[in-house]
């Protein structure tokens, strides 16, 4: 099993002006974590926090059954309306993008089935 690393996150947050698809993916991650749609500076700050990976793991372990419908509706604006929101497409951007895209899609699918 491949896991995202701090080095992967450093690569992503190192973008001054990321490609649209990378920005879109990072915004979706932040929305899934329950934050309002942030500007790129806020995304970089969140990705750089010491416990960011723990937040991703915590959502999967502890919060996945309590995700509000409003959050999932916001998330769907990214995952369902953007044809480039796929792990295969994101893999062309970076390994980290692919892993985060898979995480978002898996979390969304779990929520849909659990409903």
**What separation in angstroms does the CA of 23 have from each of 2, 27, 47, 100, 105?**
22, 6, 12, 12, 16
The per-residue pLDDT of the chain, averaged, comes to: 86
Query: Which tens digits make up the pLDDT trace of 65-98?
Result: 788 888 889 999 889 888 899 999 999 998 889 9
38 and 30 in contact (C-beta within 8 Å)? yes
pLDDT value at residue 1: 41
Q: Residue 45: which H helix or E strand, with range?
A: helix 40-48
Q: Which helix (H) or strand (E) holds 87?
A: helix 87-91
């Amino acid at each position: 099993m491949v896991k995202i690393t701090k080095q992967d996150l450093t690569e992503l947050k190192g973008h001054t002006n990321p490609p649209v698809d990378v920005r879109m993916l990072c915004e979706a991650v932040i929305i899934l974590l329950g934050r309002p749609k942030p500007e790129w500076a806020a995304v970089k700050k969140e990705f750089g926090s010491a416990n960011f990976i723990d937040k991703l793991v915590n959502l999967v372990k502890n919060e996945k059954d309590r995700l509000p419908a409003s959050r999932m509706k916001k998330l769907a604006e990214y995952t369902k309306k953007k044809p480039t929101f796929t792990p295969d497409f994101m893999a062309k951007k970076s390994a980290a993008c692919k892993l985060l895209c898979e995480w978002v899609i898996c979390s969304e699918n779990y929520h849909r089935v659990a409903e």
